[in-house]
Amino acid sequence: MNSWEFDLWVFMLAAFLGFELIRRVSPLLHTPLMSLTNAISAISVVGAILITGASDASMLSRTLGFIAVLAATINLVSGYLITDRMLRMFKKREPGKQ
Amino acid sequence: MTAAILPALYLLAAASFILAIKWMNSPATARRGVFVGEAGMILAVIGTLLRYEVVSYQWIFIAFLLGSAIGVPLAYLMPMTAVPQRTAISHAFGALASALIGTAEYYRETPHGFIMGALVLEMLLGFLTFTASLMAFGKLQEILPTRPITYKGQNFVNLGLFGLAAAIGIALILSPEQTWLFPIFVVLSLLFGVLLIIPIGGADMPTVIALLNSYAGLSASAMGFALDNRLLIVAGALDGSSGFILAIIMCRAMNRSFSNVLFGAFGQLQTTAEKTAARPVRSASPEEAAEILDSARSVIVIPGYGMAVAQAQHKLREMFDVLSRRGVDVRFAIHPVAGRMPGHMNVLLAEADVPYDKLVEMDEINGEFVMADVALVIGANDVVNPAAQNDKNSPIAGMPILEAYKARSVMVIKRSMSPGFAGIDNELYYMENTLMLFGDAKTFVASIVKELGALARA
């Protein structure tokens, strides 16, 4: 099997897995879900690191890579932190308030 | 040695992302999900830094530091009401990252065949999502006009532009050496992103944000194909399907199709449709409203975007507290498209410390309105408009609504009688059992709370 053929299989399975998982997420948490998946898609930092750190990187690709690492890191850091900040607010009962 | 460890790190990272999303299914496990997601990301970054191709570190670490210095305050200082804007801008960052990586990869390798195809897809989605998300950010932040902007032949122009961008993309796949085509391709993709959002109005934002989320993920996935990196493929596919499902849920909650949201320019058409003479409505003061609420046994609050604009959620929580102490059962009915992004109302009310078991979804609460003494509508309009069920010719016909009109009495907090986003009159306001509470949502709820306090002391 070609490498790209294999990659397509991986994509297909992951997409269906995603559908099944997301369908089960309570609508209550749709906003934190969106910021979590956004943080996860900051995985593009992997590609950005490979471009920026390559030994043969030209000035152009190093600059583009640098901006990409920066943008992905902002997403990664703020995405996880704000998701956690939101989730901390979801409480079942306020203790001692009733 | 490292050759065996690195793929294992990627594999673990992919597994943690899957677990992270799985644990989002309940508020009880969701924070664990974030933690495992962070762990996965750290594994992925370490696994990449250790690869033999990566030899120069200084720029990477400078970007890490700078990115964290921007990201941390962004996460902690951002007010919760600005979450839709933050989400839009983070889609822009994510899309920009993958578009730029695609660009760098193109100039470095000038690849052919399948890889070039993946790169073109990555850049097309990346660049258009970048500008589209910036536009969405501008509209949500109200830097740009929030009303949909339409002109004659708009859809023709948009589709034509997209067709042209796609055609040049295909030409690039067939002969990647034609580097002069590349800047044209980039500019067209960027321009298409801008034009795509121009006709989108505020009420369509939840769908559009979800769709942009999906595009950003798919772009990352396409990058995975170009770099032959399965971690990217999996993470991107998860993100892509997540955004896609949310967009479908939002569309269903408005009884509209994707193409209708993207090309329909809702709300522009009916602005002058209903210029009927002012019909009589009954209005009430905060005192009267407080008395009715106080004598109720069951109250259902229906928040909408107006609540977010007026920042009324904290006052609403105070009202919830007072009424709960007086033995009134208060619940919040959440329409899927209330607000500017999926789940917007839940986050705001949770921030105001409303317990989440009091936030009830549309399908669960609709059967309960008949038994409710009061339905209190605050800053919502179209999602409670009975025309969606009664009037076949209404622009919102068939849209699932919260059946507030079934409650014994209905109270609507509203600034004035101006129509809502869809520009349609709301039959609910003229019903016999409806009381209009005119005023700013926050001030009005505050007065109700004060009156309730007076009643409690009396």
Say whether residue A31 is in contact with chain B using an 8 A CB cutoff.
Answer: yes
Host domain of residue B381: 286-457
Chain A nearest CA to B371, separation (Å): 24
- Asked whether residue B329 falls in the same domain as residue B255, the answer is no
Any domain includes B32: no
Decide if A77 and B357 are in contact by the 8 Å CB cutoff.
no
CATH, residue B412: 3.40.50.1220
Is B382 an active-site residue?
yes
- Asked whether residue B117 falls in the same domain as residue B209, the answer is yes
The pLDDT, as a whole number, for residue B275 is 47
Any domain includes B446: yes
Say whether residue A9 is in contact with chain B using an 8 A CB cutoff.
Answer: no
Any domain includes B123: yes
Measured between alpha carbons, how far is A79 from B237 in angstroms, rounded to an integer?
Answer: 18
- Asked whether residue B232 falls in the same domain as residue B313, the answer is no
Quick one: pLDDT band at residue A94, thresholds 50, 70, 90? low
User: What's the mean pLDDT when you consider all of chain B?
Assistant: 90
Quick one: pLDDT band at residue B1, thresholds 50, 70, 90? low
Contacting residues of A for B48, CB less than 8 Å apart: 45-46, 49-50
For B277-289, what is each residue's pLDDT tens digit?
567 888 999 999 9
The pLDDT, as a whole number, for residue B267 is 43
Say whether residue B116 is in contact with chain A using an 8 A CB cutoff.
Answer: no
The pLDDT, as a whole number, for residue B35 is 96
Segment B262-289 shows an average pLDDT of 66
Q: Are B237 and B221 in contact (CB under 8 A)?
A: yes
- Across the A:B interface, residue pairs with CB atoms under 8 Å apart total 372
- Asked whether residue B318 falls in the same domain as residue B251, the answer is no
- Asked whether residue B244 falls in the same domain as residue B290, the answer is no
- Asked whether residue B242 falls in the same domain as residue B332, the answer is no
The pLDDT, as a whole number, for residue A59 is 92
Segment B250-265 shows an average pLDDT of 79
Residue of chain B whose alpha carbon sits nearest to that of A18: B238
As for how many domains chain B has, the answer is 2
For B355-412, what is each residue's pLDDT tens digit?
999 999 999 999 999 999 999 999 888 899 998 998 888 888 889 999 999 999 999 9
Contacting residues of B for A1, CB less than 8 Å apart: none
- Asked whether residue B295 falls in the same domain as residue B255, the answer is no
For B38-70, what is each residue's pLDDT tens digit?
999 999 999 999 998 888 899 999 999 999 999
Segment B103-128 shows an average pLDDT of 94
Contacting residues of B for A39, CB less than 8 Å apart: 37, 41
SS (H, E, C) chain B: CHHHHHHHHHHHHHHHHHHHHHHHHCHHHHHHHHHHHHHHHHHHHHHHHCCCCECCCHHHHHHHHHHHHHHHHHHHHCCHHHHHHHHHHHHHHHHHHHHHHHHHHHHHHCCCHHHHHHHHHHHHHHHHHHHHHHHHHHHHCCCCCCCCCCCCCHHHHHHHHHHHHHHHHHHHHHCCCCCCHHHHHHHHHHHHHHHHHCCCCHHHHHHHHHHHHHHHHHHHHHHHHHHCCHHHHHHHHHHHHHHHHHHHHHHHHHCCCHHHHHHCCCCCCCCCCCCCCCCCCCECCHHHHHHHHHCCCEEEEEECHHHHHHCCHHHHHHHHHHHHHCCCEEEEEECCCCCCCCCHHHHHHHHCCCCHHHEEEHHHHHHHHHHCCEEEEECCCHHHCCHHHHCCCCCCCCCCCCCHHHCCEEEEEECCCCCCCCCCCCHHHHCCCEEEEECCHHHHHHHHHHHHHHHHHC
The pLDDT, as a whole number, for residue B264 is 61
Measured between alpha carbons, how far is B214 from B241 in angstroms, rounded to an integer?
Answer: 6
The pLDDT, as a whole number, for residue B421 is 57
- Asked whether residue B306 falls in the same domain as residue B427, the answer is yes
Quick one: pLDDT band at residue B109, thresholds 50, 70, 90? confident
For A43-64, what is each residue's pLDDT tens digit?
999 999 999 999 888 999 999 9
Q: Flag whether pLDDT at B273 surpasses 60.
A: no
Say whether residue A25 is in contact with chain B using an 8 A CB cutoff.
Answer: yes
Contacting residues of B for A67, CB less than 8 Å apart: 96-97, 100
Burial profile B50-75: b = 16 or more Cβ within 10 angstroms, e = fewer: eeeebeeeebbeebbeebbebbeebb
The pLDDT, as a whole number, for residue B266 is 46
Segment A80-91 shows an average pLDDT of 94
Cα separations in angstroms, A84 against A33, A77, A87, B246: 11, 11, 5, 20
Could you say which of B204, B321, B357, B382 is catalytic? B382
Global pTM reads 0.91
Say whether residue B355 is in contact with chain A using an 8 A CB cutoff.
Answer: yes
Measured between alpha carbons, how far is B429 from B410 in angstroms, rounded to an integer?
Answer: 9
Quick one: pLDDT band at residue B298, thresholds 50, 70, 90? very high
Chain A nearest CA to B364, separation (Å): 12
Segment B307-328 shows an average pLDDT of 93
Any domain includes B139: yes
Q: Flag whether pLDDT at B146 surpasses 70.
A: yes
The pLDDT, as a whole number, for residue B268 is 44
- Asked whether residue B140 falls in the same domain as residue B218, the answer is yes
For B201-240, what is each residue's pLDDT tens digit?
877 888 999 999 999 999 999 999 999 999 999 999 999 9
Task: Among B248, B263, B278, identify where a domain stops.
Answer: B263
Provide ipTM, 2 decimals. Answer: 0.94
Of residues A57 and B101, more confidently modeled: B101
Say whether residue A59 is in contact with chain B using an 8 A CB cutoff.
Answer: no
Segment B299-318 shows an average pLDDT of 94
The pLDDT, as a whole number, for residue B145 is 85
Of residues B141 and B257, more confidently modeled: B141
Name the percent of chain B lying above pLDDT 70.
Answer: 95
Any domain includes B104: yes
